[in-house]
Amino acid sequence: MNSTNLKRFQSTFLVSIIVMTLISAIMMATGMVKVDWFAPKPLTNIYGVWTEQEVAHYAADSFELRASGVFVNGRQISTHYQWDGNTLSYRLGDDVYLYNYLSNRLVRQQPAHYISTFARTQKG
C-alpha cells in the first residue's frame, strides 16, 4: 500500500468514525436509543444488615431490612418502607429516613445531622 492509498484509507476511516459518532449522539438525543442502557442496573435485593462506615465500630448505626420491615437491634421499627431501586425511605416516629444507593452503598440524606454511608455487612 503506497502512501497515497494509506492517507486515503486513514481519512475515510476517520470520517466514518466521526459520522458514526454523530449518528449515535443524534439517536440518543431523540430517544431512539435509551441512554439508561449504559447505566448500572438498580439493586433489586436490598435485604440484609446495613452498617455505617467510616466511624468507630462502637458508634456505628446499623439497620436490617427484611420483607416484613426495618429492624434496629433486633426490634422492628417500621413495617413499611419504599425502595425503587435507587432510593430507600422509611419513617421512624416523626423522622423520615432517606438513603440513595450509590456504588454498593446506601448514603443517608435524611435526617440531615450528617451524611453517612452504609454498606451491607450481611445479606438477608
Hunting for cell 447505566 — which residue is that? 39
Domain boundaries defined on the chain: 1-35, 48-120
> For residue range 52-91, what is the model confidence (pLDDT) as tens digits?
999 999 999 999 999 999 999 999 999 999 999 899 999 9
Give the model confidence (pLDDT) of 94-115 as tens digits: 999 999 999 889 999 998 778 8
Q: pTM of this prediction?
A: 0.65
Q: What is the DSSP string of 60-114?
A: --EEEEETTEEEETTEEEES-EEE-SSEEEEEETTEEEEEEEETTEEEEEESTT-
Confidence of residue 122 (pLDDT cuts 50, 70, 90): confident
- pLDDT of res. 39: 61
